[in-house]
Amino acid sequence: MASPDFLETPETLDTLRRVFGYDAFRDGQREIIEHVVSGGDALVLMPTGGGKSLCYQIPALVRKGTGVVISPLIALMQDQVDALRALGVNAGFLNSTQDLDERRVVEAQFLAGELDLLYLAPERLRVPAAVELLDRGDVALFAIDEAHCVSQWGHDFRPDYLMLSGLHERWPDVPRIALTATATEATRAEIASRLRLEDARHFVASFDRPNIQYRIEPKTDAKRQLLRLLETEHKNDAGIVYCLSRNSVEKHAAFLTENGIEALPYHAGLDAETRATNQARFLREDGLVIVATIAFGMGIDKPDVRFVAHLDLPKSVEGYYQETGRAGRDGLPSTAWLAYGLQDVVNLRKMIDAGEGDPAFRRRQSQHLDAMLALCEAVECRRVQLLNYFGQPGEPCGNCDTCLSPPETWDATVPAQKVLSVIVRLERERRQKFGAGHIIDILLGKKNAKVIQFDHDALKSFGIGAELREAEWRGVVRQLLAQGLVAVESNHGTLVLTDASADVLRGERKVPMRREPERAAAKTAKAAKDRKAPVELPAEAAPVFERLRAWRAATAKEQGVPAYVIFHDATLREIATALPSSLAELGKVNGVGENKLAKYGEQVLETLAETA
């Protein structure tokens, strides 16, 4: 195993500069790369956008042989290979989308030692011919991407990942590097155990993504709240909107399109061709919004996603962090926005209770949901809470909603007792159970058809909650659920007491809560006002940047690749600001490696000359 005292070798730094066009490694990259180059195994936790791919790409280029990358992302392998080829890297893939002739060409290249990197799906290793192929070739390293997929407790479990423990047994002298953007300490231990990486060196980068502004607000009218966000803060920006159901995906994609925002749906119910087309358009075109279930997004390398919005409560902090991490991979200011409400909590509690799996599995799901609710109801910095969840310290960031507009807290003990008393009276006096909406109607003294039908206007608790608005009562019930002071029966979605309810009813436990805002729009407007501009450019550079983007879009369309494969926005912004007048000057810009300079340099200089 390599020494922990690393020296940056000229070969790795030269590869970084020559191939990728960067002058220095990011935090943590150098140590990982040198460790793997020297033959050590590694388990790497690094946030999305932190530069994980370089940690295996550079060792694959420096070491003798071909780097074999195990990735579950069949639909994105072509784009990953295209991006590497644009850098002058010889890359290929083998998966079920290829015909026999295409596979034979790639296999021949591998055996001839012509490939720097070869991408395989994990299920490919179930095919004896694929294993025999690797035996006959020269493997420089194994990179196991999205390594959290091996965790059976995780949010993205893939059974085929369990086979990957066999890599060490069959190729004991080939270094392995497992990478993920999302893992608690427990998940990290599970990854190490299942992949036989117990002796590997662990590299854990900071989970902090300071360029992402985390915002969570009560759900009132999700469609209108989303539209307001996009129209006021993210007009013409690329973004991802996550919904829990296929129906919700279709509904919200149509709504955005009707309101002048081009949005595409993505979910498992669409045919494969439509899914592939919509994903390709999102990657290749500027300013598109994709509305999707969580089936979308893993491995998406699009660097200029300016926002990720959730219209339903995620099931875990890990899932939330992984999904929001798809925003702002280029380091520019971006938004992670979530609207959640009482019904979200009710629905997820029901799903867990009625779901498959043994009691231990359901208990773990409940713990995941509890942690997510704690993040939603936090009154202190959301970033600090996220970092603490992953076992890392943090300071208040000044760039999340609770920092920008600190929420008020209040003593909600008496309102909590009123909710609990209604549940008690319905259960004990009437032997009845009802959902949150009906209980709130009783508290507000609403004589609607259902209340009259069950004679609930005769209850002593009828009308005792006039001091709060309906939205505030929904907030009280939501936070009682979050604190475990009421529960949801899985069969009917009715509210019932928990063991902790008695302490509140007896006055032995205080119930502090976040105060529901008068209008969610007020907080959104303030956060938008305090938010940094997404593109910080001198006024004179802005038209140059747009001209460069137009050239990039035309070039990408002509080559049939995503625009970011040509150059990232960050590189174009630097070019627009520096205005290089020669190939030598252009070659000094971050992200302009030798191959891209030779391929696109003259076109960039011509584009700059046209804007002068």
Name which residue leads in pLDDT, 169 or 358. 169
Express each pLDDT in 235-284 by its tens digit. 999 999 999 899 999 999 999 999 999 999 999 899 989 998 999 899 88
What confidence category does residue 391 fall into, taking pLDDT thresholds of 50, 70 and 90?
confident
Task: Report d(CA 295, CA 587) in Å as an integer.
Answer: 39
| Single-letter code of the amino acid located at 416 | A
Whether residue 216 contacts residue 376, with contact meaning beta carbons closer than 8 Å, is answered with: yes
Whether the predicted pLDDT of 18 surpasses 70 = yes
Decide if pLDDT at 295 tops 50: yes
What value does the mean pLDDT take over residues 502-524?
78
Position 13, amino acid: L
Please write the tens of the pLDDT for every residue from 130-187.
Answer: 999 999 999 999 999 988 888 865 556 778 888 898 898 899 999 999 999 877 788 8
Residue 458: CB atoms within 10 Å:
10
- Angle CA 607–608–612, to nearest 5: 120
What's the pLDDT tens digit per position in 569-592?
A: 889 999 999 999 999 999 999 999
Identify the band that residue 7 occupies on the pLDDT scale cut at 50, 70 and 90.
very low
Q: Is 411 helix (H, G, I), strand (E, B) or coil?
A: strand
- For the chain, give percent helix, strand, coil, nearest 5: 50, 15, 40
Mean pLDDT score, 76-82: 87
- Cα–Cα distance, 309 to 335 (Å, whole number): 8
Q: Contacts from 529-533 at CB under 8 Å and sequence distance 24+?
A: 530/404, 531/213, 531/233, 531/333, 531/335, 532/333, 533/333
pLDDT of residue 5: 43
Which residues in 383-510 belong to E strands, given as ranges?
Answer: 409-411, 486-488, 495-497
Structure tokens at 398: 């000044």
Rounded percentage of the chain residues whose pLDDT exceeds 70? 94
Phi, psi torsion values for 322, nearest 5 degrees: -60, -45
User: Is the model's pLDDT at 528 over the cut of 90?
Assistant: no
Confidence of residue 2 (pLDDT cuts 50, 70, 90): very low
Question: Which residue's entry shows tokens 């360029």?
Answer: 211
Instruction: Report in angstroms the alpha-carbon separations of 356 from 82, 244, 360.
Output: 40, 18, 11
| 3-state class (DSSP) for residue 112 | coil
Distance CA 91, CA 346 (A): 48
- Going from the N-terminus, what domains does the chain have, and what CATH number goes with each? 10-204 (3.40.50.300), 212-401 (3.40.50.300), 409-516 (1.10.10.10), 539-611 (1.10.150.80)
Mean pLDDT for 358-366 is: 82
DSSP conformation letters of 379-434: SS-HHHHHHHHTT------S-SHHHHSPPPEEE-HHHHHHHHHHHHHHHHHS----
Across the chain, mean pLDDT equals 89
Beta bridge partners of 93: 119
Element of type H or E holding 136:
helix 128-136
